[in-house]
Structure 1
Amino acid sequence: MINRRSVMGLFAGAASLVAAPFASRAAQQRTAPPAMGFFETRDDLPPPPKTAGNVPGTLAPRGRNGRMERLPEIDLESRMDFLMSVRTFANQTLSQAAGRRANDILASKGISPDTELPMQEAIALLQDDPVVSARTRTWMSVQQLSWNNMKAECENNADTYLSEMEAVDNRGPGTLELNPDLEMPDYTRHEIHIQPGGYVGNDFAGHMYDYGTNGFYTGRNDQDALHMTAAFGLPIPEDGKVKRILDLGTGVGQLAMALKERFPDAEVWGIDVGGPMVRYGHLRAVERGLDVNFAQRLAEDTRFPDNHFDLVTSYIMLHEVSPQGTKDIVNEAFRITRPGGIFYPIDFNLKNPFPRTAYGQYRRWWDHRWNNEVWTIKYRTNGLQDLVRAAGFDLNEEGPVALPRFGVMNATKPA
């Protein structure tokens, strides 16, 4: 079983591995890939809305930090903060050391660090190296421990958390629709990000996802800053009308709630295949006093009328969906977007992807293999742009950028 002591051991071992490249000035001057700093947010975001106060039946024993409810015990909060620090170390210092080591391995083979390599060749070169593996193992241990911490907290206090959600299931201002008989697509059975139970197989998937991904973002999203940046960066139809908005694969509703903050007079929906996800999202919306409607539905079969929405969007959903699921979702988005309306799925950049260097290819592989990003590699080769055009949209890949460093997929349904 992996515990805090295990991570400290990894931390100490990794630190000793990292020290070697700094032993000489020549080592310090080696070229290395930049530290992981992928996420960028706007500086002009509005402050958190005033919450609805003490909603009967809901809990916040240690209060809130803006949009984020604090964890119920300082011990748990401290453990999660500790893991976030180790993750930051893995993303920055360890990742740079692994990148330098990868470059050294390439140099020993007479290969330039900038050479683009097939993935299998990169894996063969790097997967057994101790420095490269130390970064992978440290990051994965943090991921496992983060999920285990939240899973234990929720399951050890199951009655409390279930009662809290039940208390607001039928309470507004927004609505909640659950469908326990929903027929799940095969791709939903995977535990993406190795989250226990995935999005559909654990009653507390929403709780785990919210706090687990907060650690993944290393503190950059505890105020939903990424989702707020995306919501305020999305384009609107040329006629300026935004009366109905849909967030596909809404998860716990962070983007849907951010869109409601930007468009307070619009009817906002967030749908997801995961009942526990939208149930938790509804709880959070009620606590914040936001009129957002949540429903457990499929993104490829939304059950909304034709030409219904002015804006249809999603946040990093499509790379977690099978190729056939992606095609079906794009076609469904075209059906429900009104003429002149916009479909803008936010996801990884396909037009200007990162170079396929050996270390980059290795990282894509271990994320797929060990972090259970089942569909990411196929997403990058699935021809999403062609699917969007084939559905009938006019696609603009030049702008605007809704979320910095992510792709532009600004699709308009012809009027």
Structure 2
Amino acid sequence: MTAFLASIVEAYGELRVHKGRILLSLLGVAFSVFALTGVMGGGGMLGGALQQSMEKSSGRDTLLSIQPMGDMGYSYDEHGTMLEEPGGAAEEVAPAEQDAIVLEQLDRLGITQRSREAHAFTRIQTPQGVVGTDLTGVDPSYAAMYRMQVAEGRWLTDSDHQRLAPALVVNAPLYEQLGRPELGTETITLYGASGASESEIATVVGVLPADSSTDWGPRAYIAADGLAAVPGVDTSVSTISQYLAWVPPEQGEEVRGHLAQRLSSTSAGSFEVYPTSFSMEQMEVYKVFGYAIGGVAVVILLLGALGLVNISLVTVRYRVREIGIRRSYGATGGRIFFGVLMESVVATVIAGAIGVAAAVALVKAPFVTDAFTRVGLVDIPPFPVGAVVVGLAAATAVGVLAGALPALIATRIRVIDAIRS
């Protein structure tokens, strides 16, 4: 260990002596490592942005959807011809019974990240008049499943369905139409199909950020158990379109199989279970994108290494006298080889560390993270550790490759060559 540390100190001292010759080549290596680390780190964050953008519409990995199917009263002959009109067997199921059956199975499997999703329609009084609004009844875990974060106020909680005035989370267009009411205190009026004779007071507690990809019209979210208080919603039939369960990816297939088996035939009808999400790794275009990024990074690194090799070869030619004197004092070929090699490695590691630090500073700069946010990044991840490791490893590898050939030439220098020079 002492000899290794001594070689590093010696190499650093030689760098200070010959810094004028190798400074430009080290700048090239630093820039190459900066580009390599920046491209890999930025590419990783861009991939995360695309993944999170898809998760906002299809859900997190692995999100399972449980949808009530039932036979709906249809009967078919052996040729697939319908014999009877729908009798509504599934329609007769009480919503509470359907909820109890599905939630019981989720409880048995220990699934805590779950939510119901029910769709309804309501009419909301605004300063400009009554506006028709899509209303979605969900549970609190729904926000985490679809990476939903409120821009103002708060998201729904477990106690919101007990409020006398139902709590709503609205999207940005609806909040503007409502005249930006005071969150949590100012009330709004909901109307049913029959008008003023069927109304209810509600309170806006949260506002979603503006999103051009999802803000197609006014939309509001309410606690699933609070839908009964909304005028015009028929609670005698189930409004649940699906049940959602978010499970660890490694347990996705196993949990899906258990749920599909247990819910295939129940007193509330049959249910279909399938994943709603998919990963970027499943897309061939993303794989090609990753290969392209890696190829560009390798080319950039090789160009930087080529410049360092050329400068190192020229430097060795100018150090014939110095190396010959070392040989005359008994330095072995291995000692000369290791010393010249370490000079290159130490130089490139220092340059690589500077390049990695600059790449991290650039990718984490506010204007860069804002750009990723605009393309769908919700949760800003830390800079990929893999990119940092690859950058430093690449700098070390460049030092070894760029120093091996000059070091090999240095071992062939004899004392007589130093005298002749």
TM range (shorter): under 0.3
TM-score scaled by structure 1? 0.23
Structure with bigger gyration radius: 2
TM-score scaled by structure 2? 0.23
Q: More helix by proportion, 1 or 2?
A: 2
Q: More strand by proportion, 1 or 2?
A: 2
Q: Which is bigger in relative contact order (C-alpha 8 A, separation at least 6)? A: 2
